[in-house]
Structure 1
Amino acid sequence: MAVLSVMDTAAAAVERLDRLAATPRVAKLALAFQKAGHELALVGGPVRDAFLGRPVNDLDFTTSASPDQILEIVVPIAEAHWEVGRAFGTIAARVDGETVEITTYRSDVYDGETRKPEVEFGDTLEGDLIRRDFTVNSMALRLPEKVLVDPSGGVEDLLAGILATPGSAEDSFRDDPLRMMRAARFTSQLGFQVSADVQTAMTERASTLEIVSVERVTDELSKLLKTDDPVPGIRLLVATGIAELVLPELPAMILEADEHHHHKDVYEHSLTVLTQAIGYEKERHPGTPPDLTLRIASLLHDIGKPTTRRLEPGGVVTFHHHDLVGAKMAKRRLKELRFDNDTIAAVYRLIELHLRFFGYTEGGWTDSAVRRYVRDAGDQLERLHMLTRADVTTRNRRKADHLAFAYDDLEDRIAVLREQEELDSLRPDLDGDAIQRILGIKPSREVGEAYRYLLELRTEEGPLGEDEATNRLKAWWDARHQQPGAGGEPADPVA
């Protein structure tokens, strides 16, 4: 049965590769390079995915032609082309409405000291394939002959679900240390296991990742988190010590259990929350791109626990304020990894607020408390819904059901208030211009204070209406200026 399975898989892959090679854009490229006297091969991911039966989205080619020669061949048959990767031997082009990338045979390596590889062009397809990261990515289809080239046994490793390097794993990771993180990503993306020598080399050479630019590391980490199941890759990063360099907060969550086991394993809990958040993400927004912000927040939501852990009298373990501490820690880490400001701000807010809901289960919230929850979450409310639900990992079914029902109730109340009060655009009944006109003051700090006072009223009591808001504002202003040391006389009236 195993032989038949392998044969069936190979036959299906050949059929898919034949169909791919026959598509107009691939056939057009193959003929153009052949006429120019240069080799061309479909390489890497597309060939691998043909064996796995996965959709082929990106077409990568490799060629004996130099970057200048690639341009001479491609420009006449392309609707557009880009030379941003020219220094690395890569030319991108749009052919028949699809983007392709064509790269000169390469054999570049790191020198072990700088953060950028030395770009060297090769002269054979086999030489190019052997220098690639993993055997399953080191297969190519020669065009237009449609001959499979597999110098390092990629087909066998692919069918066995093994991630191995074409040569020595140590040499491969010396050539480009980022390949160690790529191994973690492919573990999750393909559902493969790394070979024993790959894991050993990752462990021994983890520190060499420091020579790789932060941007490349962050990009690879993001790709891992965007896979359908990032957990196996994350476990591999932690097990090999790479996480100590990239996200040291992760292994720090593997707390030693106290003798009474009075707290959960924070690391395992966080991985479960990540998995459950991805489930909610797919359930609520099927077919949309992975939500990197939600996934980062889910993974890091409890990173403040190791710092705030306290053993109280009676053996009770507490983590007071771990939400606020964790939000600050996440902000620092994401800044170091050079994530964009919007992502950093969103993750900070989600971690800061992830415990807020649990107060809802302790006693019914007033409408003002619900409004405050929505106001504080802002545009992160939908993500906060998913994170908070995912944060319930108890095995106690009764407790889990109670929390789920409570959150259902909270979302229902938010929906009702949203319909009644335009909750998503929570603003005072009077704007800044009205405040200045009513109080007879110019733009100043006091206008902001008045605005915040009215916003607090709006949050606590709901819409007041313009007349009532005006009366309350005047009463607040009079009381404020009757208090000793309240700031003296009002500013001059607007002329």
Structure 2
Amino acid sequence: MSEASAPHAADRRELTGAQRNAVAELLRVSPVADELGHRFVRAGHELHLVGGSVRDALLGRLGDDLDFCTDAHPDETLRIIKGWAESIWETGREFGTIGAQRDGLRLEITTFRAESYDQVTRNPVVVYGTNLTEDLRRRDFTINAMAVSLPEHRFTDPHGGLDDLSAKVIRTPADPHESFGDDPLRMLRAARFAAQLRFAVHPDVHAAMSRMAADLDRITAERIRDEFTKLLCGADPITGLRLLVDTGLAERFLPELTGLKLEIDEHAQHKDVYEHTLTVVENAVSFEEDGCDFILRMAALMHDVGKPATKAVGPDGRVSFHHHEVVGARLTKARMKALRYPKDITAKVTALVALHLRFYGYGRGEWTDSAVRRYVADAGDLLPRLHKLTRSDCTTRNRRKAAQLGADYDALEDRIARIAAEEDLARVRPDLDGNAIMELLGVPPGPVVGRAWKHLKEQRLEHGPLDRDAAEAELLRWARAEGLID
């Protein structure tokens, strides 16, 4: 383990485990990695497995994407791998990166870098470096600044990344102010790694994030979106979200989250909306069945963002947030648009925010079958997520109230299942289609057909399925009332 920092005595057992993980993972990929290493050495160049690949190998979770660095420039790299790689791509060539695939592994080979930044954007002025030590120092965090040289498997760790990995700490190789000044996105990456790995941020890094939060404004919305999505989909998103708020980073791109910290005064007590929201996100994660459901998590995060704008204190001192779901849906749509999320993803999250309060009141016995049909129709294919979001939103510490809410929602789901079995709720449509409407009314395609279709759908929701004769009679009644026929 040459050039590696010596492990502390208290860490020896855990570090040995990490090293065993690395050996097992590297043996899995070594046929390809070592072949590649030999090719570079024969051409008179170095090759090192670096960054997240080494970190993940030590954690026992190395995937099929491998990152390498080399002193060879892109043209030389292409010559070395030509005829050996099954496929090659050059999309990252301007930044010194050549991509390749071999035996199911995706390889990215990047020339040593020693770039500087213009301190205005995050775009580097690419300057090729000359050695591994310089390359590792420019990396974002010490846990990503370790290398395994190929093919000899020499381990290099000049910044104590192995110790930090053992201590579960996120620290920068250089001074954090210098590192974040070069690339402010690294501040958001620190929060993302905290969420993904369940690591703590070093106090010096935390302080620099707080002082330099405004520098995040230099970063494009798309890059912020991508890092934030990874954070929210992390194993522990709550840690990452708290870090964003505590350092002021959230205020730069998601101020609605910080805004949930409503003031609580002695005359108008109400639950802490911020803490409630984090609990709802945590609950939503527990309902996931197969990996991260970003739409559900984002809806849980945003479901109450309309409360600050709708907060009111009544004559009795009680706090209310009337129509906060409507305001929240509007704010959610605007924020996700600003972060450049795809329209379909934004629409689904926004719909869940708008619908999340619909269930409340069901337990009072006021819902008709018509109300249940509308609930299902309005949710559409989001219904399973709406079920999970509504259940996640129950965070009361009152056990009796929590049990009653749970029982009420159980009853609603049973009722939905019963009506669905009887009426095929998954396909709530009018009992006559457009062709039948045009034939019966003697009208061409146009707005009249659309109005008639909408009326019949309302009847379907209100009364359930109609047979053909009843549906035609209702259509004719409506058409006479509209003055369309005599």
Instruction: Please give the range of the TM-score, normalised by the shorter of the 2 chains.
Output: over 0.9
Contact in 2 for aligned 1:138/1:152 (Cα 8 Å): yes
1:249 maps to: 256
> Which residue is equivalent to 2:5?
none
Q: Amino acid of the residue matched to residue 230 of structure 2? A: K
1:18 Cα offset (Å): 4.6
1:15 equivalenced with 2:23 (yes/no): yes
Aligned in 2, Cα 1:427/1:18: closer, same or farther, shift over 3 Å?
A: closer
**Structure 2 counterparts to residues 65-214 of structure 1, below 5 A:** 65-214=72-221
Superposition deviation, residue 108 in structure 1: 2.5
Secondary structure in 1 matching 2:395 = coil
The answer as to whether partners of 1:441 and 1:490 remain within 8 angstroms in 2 is no
Matching of residues 3-402 of structure 1 within 5 Å = 3-16=11-24, 18-20=26-28, 22=30, 24-260=31-267, 262-281=269-288, 285=289, 288-402=290-404
Conserved in 1, the CA contact under 8 Å of 2:22 and 2:60? no
- Give the deviation of 1:239 after TM superposition: 0.6
What displacement does 1:34 show?
Answer: 1.7
Q: Distance in 1 between matches of 2:11 and 2:481?
A: 88
Shift of 1:81: 1.5
**What percent identity do the matched residue pairs reach?**
51
Q: Do 2:187 and 2:209's aligned partners in 1 also have CA atoms closer than 8 Å?
A: yes
Q: Give the secondary structure class of the aligned counterpart of 2:101.
A: strand
Determine which structure has greater relative contact order: mean sequence separation of CA pairs < 8 Å that are 6+ residues apart, divided by chain length.
2
- Structure 2 counterpart of 1:480, one-letter code: E
> For 1:76, what is the secondary structure of its paired residue?
coil
Shift of 1:348: 1.0
Residue of structure 2 equivalent to 1:415: 417
Where does residue 429 of structure 1 map in the other structure? 431
Q: Which runs of 5+ in 1 are unaligned?
A: 482-488
CA deviation vs aligned residue, 1:125-181 (integer Å, no higher than 9, x gap): 111110000001100100001001111111111111111100100000011100000
- How far residue 444 of structure 1 moved from its aligned partner, in angstroms, is 2.2
Looking at structure 1, the residues matched to 440 and 231 of structure 2 have their Cα atoms a distance apart, in angstroms, of 56
Residues of 1 paired with 2:353 and 2:332: CA distance? Answer: 8
Residue 473 of structure 2 aligns to a residue in which SS? helix
Could you tell me which residue of structure 2 aligns to residue 485 of structure 1?
Answer: none
- Is the 1:21–1:144 Cα contact (8 Å) retained in structure 2? no
Aligned length: 478
What secondary structure sits across from 2:414 in the alignment?
A: helix
- Between 418-427 and 206-215, report the one with greater CA deviation: 418-427
| 1:476 aligned partner | 478
Tell me the alpha carbon deviations over residues 249-296 of structure 1, each in whole angstroms, 9 at most, x when there is no partner. 011100111214521111110010001001101xxx2xx341111111
- Which residue in 2 is equivalent to 1:450? 452
Asked if the contact 1:42–1:142 (Cα under 8 Å) also holds between the matched residues in 2, the reply is: yes
Change (3 A) 1:336 1:75: same
Q: Distance in 1 between matches of 2:118 and 2:409?
A: 55
Contact 2:137 2:145 (C-alpha < 8 Å) held by counterparts: yes
Equivalent-residue separation in structure 2 for 1:246 and 1:261 (angstroms): 30
Distance in 2, Cα, partners of 1:425 & 1:31: 61
Q: CA deviation at 1:392?
A: 0.3
TM value normalised by structure 1 = 0.93
Q: CA deviation at 1:28?
A: 2.0
Stretch moving more, 243-252 or 436-445: 436-445
* Alpha-carbon distance in 1 for matches of 2:201, 2:191: 8
Structure 1: distance between partners of 2:111 and 2:464:
65
Shift of 1:73: 1.6
The amino acid of 1:35's aligned partner reads R
Unaligned runs of 5+ in 2: 1-8
Per-residue deviation, 1:399: 1.0
Shift of 1:115: 4.5
Secondary structure of 2:100's partner? strand
- Separation in structure 2 between the aligned mates of residue 3 and residue 469 of structure 1, nearest angstrom: 76
1:376 CA drift (Å): 0.5
